[in-house]
């Protein structure tokens, strides 16, 4: 009974509006409605945790985490609240079956006191919070159950050998009441602990890579947390010359970018980290000078056959070949000038006397961007072997082209190939091709010598259909010629690997030889090796065996695994094919009526009715084809997301050497479901809503999606689910829930949030709707630092969802950020209430905020009418102001004339702080943002118009630059108008060249202090 009372004390529920989801549970790592068992997730913007009368809960493995917060009567000190050593003696007296008092109920037992001690009163998000359980003697108690209660939910953990129980904290930044309970045992008394836990985000720091970088090298920055720990797999944005580049940090927290700017150039690199659910954002800038890049020259070897070409490769500090560079090659006192090719290779034919060694020096004089370098090699020249044959790359490639054409026509490889007029065995030619591929990959174009004694072998008949990239097919080529060098016979098959080193299957001799021919044919035409090559055994006949009738051992393999037997069948010219029993197959559809979003399935069986697993089935419909693989029951399925109607679907099986091909054509009826909605239909409807709002400044009451009319609340939920699914790479249809309509109230917003934040809001809306069956009246919008920027009313966040999906429909990816502008849905800001805009000034109503356009609240304007400091009114300033305003009668026309003059006639010049002041800027005709603002202010004041400065941080320009910025404000008829003259795209009262939703730390001055 006592334990029940203690547990009930943990869950004290308070209520707020059912549509208030300010603190709805959410996290960027949440799936639709669940979290993993060690994580608590919520949002809190202040010292209290709001709660909801509806249990908008998130299921956990061992209990539920809801928004029901603990009451305020919990002790916030990190101490034991109570320990009862005699709880068993308080058991109520009960009667036994004989209506007699049971003596056992009166027996008292003394229990050992226990204490719970917490690990502190603060924790970084994503880290664990610990409690330690000890008895009165300080002994730790292991294997005991401890219950953590937070936000009205219980989580049970077991203490380890040190008496420690812990729970990972993944709550949003804020304060939370955490209660911990040890219920006790027959030997130990219960105890509990309550803590006011502050959850913080860990700070971060970006360390730059110094003030210099060599051309061609990478410049690196390192991201660490507040403890100096490297942060891996984080996105860092590098801004160089106004352009952003996104890089992901490696295991050491390093993000790098190759620098290929001209040597001697200085640039400012700004590295920024947007932060995450666990880490604060950070940013750093460095001025970097590009130095000349290092170079080196790599010789191609120490020996050469007379008559061949010898090569040097010129590379930069990163190993990249430098093209179109002059190098000097000096041999026997003579110097020869060569120009490197696209791979940095320079070659020279060697016709020196054989049997000698020659010193060859290759030197590079350097350039404006690269340092000089040289290389010396002692080269041995030998005569061509009389017992071997040498073939140029050109001859090998020409023969490869002929071989490719032969296979495509005859579905088999020949037993011999003519190379430059010499007939070679197919095995010999396979050796030459594999060697040529490896050499070309190393920029070696020398002729290749064919070893003697190579004979034909067997070809395994493995089935394979795979595509491999360059590194992998070069590796196969090397294994093939190494095997022939050692065994004088080609491998029956070679294992093909993917980029991760996993086997894709075995390619028989015939197949990999054909692949080599395709690669060299490509190189012959394009002068570079292809990025990938396909290995498709279906190019050959069903019985695909050895390359010639005089096949040798059947255990040859270039794979690192055990070899497989070569086929006894022959695929060479003149070979015979033994009889093979091939079974018939059939395809049968499960049904010809399908609800949109469900699968159309067929079953593949042989003539005996046995299901055929792991077979490729092709579905053809609407001029498209899709390949699926049968499962263990012979079933292959295709999800049909087409609009309702009748469709002709043909399924076909190509067959194998053991099974005949088969085909099935059905007319399939697809019916729509009024409760299922597909992404493309939702996106189209969202685009329609966006267009409607843009035109009418209001949202519609209903929305039609694929012929089904939804209320705005229903569609808001459907859009939120669509955004969630897209972010999770889930293209499944969305089922409509029961959603009641809600009111729409909130703050006036004009802000921009990034993807992580709008996804956070989206998930909170989904959780609320699925719990309360109604859309929330508003949803709080947070910035990247976890700070609330206001409450987006229902209509505003619904419009945001529509814009996000309309963007995705056009671009096929979610936007990096989303704006929440109340003015877009017809809401007028309080700051613009009772404000009359001068008709001559085309002010942007969306830019009515402090520092931009705002109603005047200053009664004494004298400070904004006198020249001082950088805005001193000189004779020159007075004269220009008089000329600009001559003949103009209204304040508005005078202000426009002054602003337009500075904007159009004064060019922008980048530097920090103020250097010239108003008069110097006017005389020189150029200035930065501070000095241009000073000129606007001085000219206005000289004309009797009040003017002042605005200064903010975090201004995000169209170029991507994020920096501090200064502009002027001019007072006209009771309204201060922004006067940013740094771009011709701007106008009085309207700023275009930077995002007016991005700034912070606003300050306003009568005289600029820097």
Rounded distance between C-alpha atoms, residue 263 and residue 477, angstroms: 40
**410 — alpha (psi -120 to 50), left (phi > 0) or beta?**
alpha
Place 568 in a pLDDT band, splitting at 50, 70 and 90.
very low
Strands of the sheet containing 326-331, edge to edge, are: 303-305, 373-382, 356-364, 326-331, 334-339
Question: How much is the pLDDT for 104?
Answer: 35
Whether 235 and 141 map to the same domain: the answer is no
Query: Quick one: average pLDDT of 549-571?
Result: 30
Q: Would you say residue 574 has pLDDT above 60?
A: no
Q: How far apart are the first and last CA of the chain?
A: 71
Contact 32, 123 (CB under 8 A): no
DSSP H or E segment with residue 779 = strand 778-782
Question: How much is the pLDDT for 388?
Answer: 59
Is the pTM for the entire model greater than 0.75?
no
**Is the Cα torsion angle 693, 695, 698, 699 positive or negative in sign?**
negative
- The tokens of 441 are what? 């990959």
Query: Quick one: average pLDDT of 736-750?
Result: 84
Place 672 in a pLDDT band, splitting at 50, 70 and 90.
low
Whether 722 and 850 map to the same domain: the answer is no
Q: Would you say residue 788 has pLDDT above 90?
A: no
Question: How much is the pLDDT for 17?
Answer: 28
Phi, psi angles (nearest 5°) of residue 124: -80, 140
pLDDT tens, position by position, 343-390:
888 988 888 888 889 999 999 999 999 999 999 999 998 876 554 588
Phi, psi angles (nearest 5°) of residue 725: -65, -40
Place 715 in a pLDDT band, splitting at 50, 70 and 90.
very high
Query: Where is the domain boundary, 504, 522, 539?
Result: 539
- Widest Cα–Cα separation across the chain: 124
Question: How much is the pLDDT for 219?
Answer: 92
For 478, residues 6+ apart whose C-beta sits below 8 A from its C-beta are 434, 438
Whether 635 and 693 map to the same domain: the answer is no
Among 501, 498, 524, CA closest to 440: 524
Place 438 in a pLDDT band, splitting at 50, 70 and 90.
very high
For 911, residues 6+ apart whose C-beta sits below 8 A from its C-beta are 928
Q: What is the CATH number of the domain that holds 282?
A: 2.60.40.10
Whether 916 and 991 map to the same domain: the answer is yes
pLDDT tens, position by position, 64-110:
222 233 333 222 222 222 233 333 322 222 333 333 333 333 334 57
Contact 317, 294 (CB under 8 A): yes
Query: Where is the domain boundary, 275, 291, 307?
Result: 291
Query: Quick one: average pLDDT of 385-406?
Result: 85
Buried/exposed 587-622: b ≥16 CB within 10 Å, e otherwise: bebeeeebebbbebbbbbbbeeeeebeebebbbebe
Whether 621 and 686 map to the same domain: the answer is no
Question: How much is the pLDDT for 829?
Answer: 58
Question: How much is the pLDDT for 170?
Answer: 83
Q: Would you say residue 59 has pLDDT above 70?
A: no
Burial class (CB in 10 A: 0-12, 13-18, 19+), 833: exposed
Contact 831, 848 (CB under 8 A): yes
Domain count, the chain: 7
Position 566 in a domain: no
DSSP H or E segment with residue 726 = helix 712-727
Rounded distance between C-alpha atoms, residue 203 and residue 112, angstroms: 43
Q: What is the CATH number of the domain that holds 906?
A: 3.10.620.30
Burial class (CB in 10 A: 0-12, 13-18, 19+), 875: exposed
Whether 140 and 188 map to the same domain: the answer is yes
**228 — alpha (psi -120 to 50), left (phi > 0) or beta?**
left
Q: Would you say residue 631 has pLDDT above 60?
A: yes
For 627, residues 6+ apart whose C-beta sits below 8 A from its C-beta are 616, 617, 618, 619
Whether 680 and 820 map to the same domain: the answer is yes
Position 612 in a domain: yes
Query: Quick one: average pLDDT of 714-743?
Result: 89
Most confident of 307-311, 345-349, 549-553: 345-349
What's the mean per-residue pLDDT of the chain?
Answer: 81
Question: How much is the pLDDT for 57?
Answer: 25
Contact 178, 148 (CB under 8 A): yes
pLDDT tens, position by position, 851-873:
999 888 899 999 999 998 999 99
Whether 631 and 658 map to the same domain: the answer is yes
The domain in which residue 625 lies consists of 585-671
Question: What percentage of the chain carries pLDDT values higher than 90?
Answer: 46
Query: Quick one: average pLDDT of 420-437?
Result: 92
Q: Would you say residue 542 has pLDDT above 60?
A: no
Whether 596 and 712 map to the same domain: the answer is no
Most confident of 458-467, 557-566, 619-628: 619-628
Q: What is the CATH number of the domain that holds 331?
A: 2.60.40.1930
Q: Would you say residue 208 has pLDDT above 60?
A: yes
Whether 72 and 166 map to the same domain: the answer is yes
Query: Quick one: average pLDDT of 765-777?
Result: 90
pLDDT tens, position by position, 937-993:
999 999 999 999 999 998 998 888 889 999 999 999 999 999 999 998 999 999 999
Rounded distance between C-alpha atoms, residue 310 and residue 737, angstroms: 74
pLDDT tens, position by position, 318-340:
888 898 999 999 998 899 999 99
Question: How much is the pLDDT for 301?
Answer: 84
DSSP H or E segment with residue 197 = strand 191-200
Question: How much is the pLDDT for 625?
Answer: 85
CA 27 from chain centre, in angstroms, equals 18
Output 286 or 10, whichever has higher pLDDT: 286
Query: Where is the domain boundary, 652, 671, 690?
Result: 671
pLDDT tens, position by position, 801-841:
999 999 999 988 999 889 998 888 887 655 444 456 677 88
Rounded distance between C-alpha atoms, residue 690 and residue 801, angstroms: 9
Whether 218 and 168 map to the same domain: the answer is no
Residues found in the chain = 1010
Rounded distance between C-alpha atoms, residue 695 and residue 778, angstroms: 24
Angstrom CA distances, 532 to 100, 323, 472, 535, 672, stand at 90, 24, 9, 10, 42
Position 545 in a domain: no
Whether 280 and 401 map to the same domain: the answer is no
CA 138 from chain centre, in angstroms, equals 50
Position 562 in a domain: no
Q: What is the CATH number of the domain that holds 106?
A: 2.60.40.1080
Contact 531, 461 (CB under 8 A): no
Specify the range with the lowest mean pLDDT, choosing from 309-313, 546-550, 659-663, 899-903.
Answer: 546-550
């Amino acid at each position: 009974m006592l334990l029940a009372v203690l547990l009930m004390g943990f869950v004290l529920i308070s209520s707020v509006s059912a549509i208030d989801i300010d603190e709805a549970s959410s996290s960027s790592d949440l799936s639709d409605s669940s979290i993993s068992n060690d994580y608590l997730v919520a949002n809190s913007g202040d010292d209290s945790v709001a709660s909801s009368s509806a249990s908008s809960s998130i299921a956990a493995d061992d209990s539920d985490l809801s928004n029901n917060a603990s009451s305020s009567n919990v002790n916030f000190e990190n101490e034991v609240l109570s320990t009862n050593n005699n709880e068993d003696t308080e058991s109520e007296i009960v009667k036994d079956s004989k209506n007699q008092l049971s003596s056992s109920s009166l027996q008292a037992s003394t229990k050992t006191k226990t204490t719970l001690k917490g690990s502190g009163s603060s924790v970084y998000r994503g880290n664990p919070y610990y409690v330690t359980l000890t008895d009165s003697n300080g002994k730790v108690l292991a294997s005991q159950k401890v219950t953590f209660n937070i936000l009205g939910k219980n989580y049970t953990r077991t203490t380890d050998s040190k008496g420690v129980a812990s729970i990972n904290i993944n709550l949003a930044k804020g304060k939370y009441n955490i209660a911990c309970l040890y219920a006790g045992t027959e030997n130990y008394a219960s105890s509990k602990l309550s803590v006011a836990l502050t959850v913080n985000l860990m700070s971060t720091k970006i360390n730059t890579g110094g003030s210099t970088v060599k051309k061609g090298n990478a410049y690196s920055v390192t991201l660490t947390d507040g403890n100096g720990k490297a942060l891996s797999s984080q996105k860092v944005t590098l801004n160089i010359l106004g352009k952003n580049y996104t890089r992901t940090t490696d295991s050491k927290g390093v993000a790098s970018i190759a620098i290929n700017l001209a040597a001697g150039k200085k640039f400012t690199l700004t590295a920024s980290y947007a932060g995450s659910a666990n880490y604060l954002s950070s940013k750093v800038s460095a001025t970097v000078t590009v130095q000349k890049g290092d170079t080196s020259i790599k010789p191609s070897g120490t020996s050469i056959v007379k008559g061949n070409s010898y090569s040097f490769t010129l590379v930069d500090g990163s190993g990249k070949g430098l093209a179109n560079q002059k190098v000097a090659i000096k041999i026997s006192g003579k110097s020869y000038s060569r120009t490197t090719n696209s791979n940095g290779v320079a070659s020279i034919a060697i016709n020196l006397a054989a049997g000698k060694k020659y010193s060859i020096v290759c030197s590079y004089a350097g350039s404006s961007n690269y340092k000089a370098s040289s290389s010396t090699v002692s080269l041995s020249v030998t005569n061509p072997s009389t017992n071997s044959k040498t073939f140029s790359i050109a001859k090998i490639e020409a023969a490869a082209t002929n071989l490719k054409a032969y296979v495509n026509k005859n579905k088999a490889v020949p037993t011999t190939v003519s190379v430059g007029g010499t007939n070679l065995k197919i095995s010999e030619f396979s050796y030459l091709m594999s060697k040529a591929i490896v050499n070309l990959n190393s920029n070696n174009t020398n002729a290749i010598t064919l070893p003697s004694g190579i004979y034909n072998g067997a070809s395994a008949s493995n089935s394979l259909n795979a595509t491999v990239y360059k590194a992998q097919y070069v590796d196969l080529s090397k294994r093939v010629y190494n095997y022939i060098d050692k065994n004088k016979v080609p491998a029956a098959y070679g294992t093909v690997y993917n980029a991760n080193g996993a086997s894709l299957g075995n390619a028989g001799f015939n197949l990999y030889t054909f692949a080599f021919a395709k690669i060299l044919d490509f190189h012959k035409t394009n002068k570079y090796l292809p990025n990938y090559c396909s290995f498709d055994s279906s190019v050959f006949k069903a019985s695909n065996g050895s390359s010639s009738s005089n096949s040798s051992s059947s255990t040859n393999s270039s794979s690192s695994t055990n070899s497989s037997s070569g086929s006894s069948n022959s695929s060479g010219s003149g070979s015979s094919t033994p009889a093979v029993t091939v079974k018939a197959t059939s395809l049968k559809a499960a049904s010809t009526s399908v609800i949109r979003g469900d699968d159309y399935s067929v079953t593949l069986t042989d003539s005996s009715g046995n299901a055929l697993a792991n077979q490729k089935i092709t579905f053809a419909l609407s001029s498209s084809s899709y390949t699926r693989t049968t499962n263990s029951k012979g079933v292959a399925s295709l999800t049909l997301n087409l609009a309702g109607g009748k469709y002709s679907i043909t399924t076909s099986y190509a067959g194998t050497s053991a099974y005949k091909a088969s085909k099935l054509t059905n007319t399939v009826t697809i019916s729509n479901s009024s409760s299922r909605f597909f992404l493309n239909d939702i996106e189209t409807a969202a685009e329609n809503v966006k267009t409607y709002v843009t035109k009418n400044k209001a949202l519609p009451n209903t929305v039609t999606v694929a012929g089904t009319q939804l209320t705005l609340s229903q569609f808001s939920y459907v859009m939120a689910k669509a955004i969630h699914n897209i972010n999770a790479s889930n293209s499944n249809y969305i089922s409509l829930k029961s959603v009641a309509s809600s009111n729409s109230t909130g703050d006036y917003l004009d802000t921009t949030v990034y993807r992580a934040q709008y996804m956070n809001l989206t998930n909170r809306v989904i959780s609320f709707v699925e719990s309360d069956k109604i859309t929330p009246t508003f949803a709080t919008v947070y910035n990247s630092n976890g700070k609330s920027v206001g409450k987006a009313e229902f209509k505003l966040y619904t419009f945001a969802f529509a814009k996000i999906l309309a963007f995705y429909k056009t671009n096929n990816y979610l936007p990096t950020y989303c704006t929440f502008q109340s003015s877009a849905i017809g809401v007028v800001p309080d700051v613009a209430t009772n404000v009359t805009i001068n008709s001559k000034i085309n002010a942007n109503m969306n830019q009515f905020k402090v520092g931009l356009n705002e109603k005047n609240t200053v009664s004494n304007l004298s400070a904004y009418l006198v020249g001082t400091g950088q805005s001193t009114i000189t004779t020159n300033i007075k004269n220009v102001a008089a000329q600009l305003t001559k003949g103009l009668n209204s304040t508005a026309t005078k202000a426009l004339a002054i602003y337009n003059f500075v904007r159009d006639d004064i060019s922008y010049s980048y530097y920090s702080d103020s250097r010239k002041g108003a008069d110097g800027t006017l005389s020189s005709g150029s200035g930065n943002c501070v000095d241009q603002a000073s000129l606007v202010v001085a000219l206005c004041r000289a004309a009797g118009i009040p003017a002042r400065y605005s200064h903010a941080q975090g201004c995000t320009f169209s170029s991507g630059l994020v920096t501090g910025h200064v502009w002027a404000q001019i007072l006209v008829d009771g309204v201060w108008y922004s006067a940013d003259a740094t771009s011709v795209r701007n106008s009085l009262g309207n700023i275009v060249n930077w995002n007016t939703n991005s700034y912070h730390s606003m300050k306003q001055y009568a005289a600029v202090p820097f």
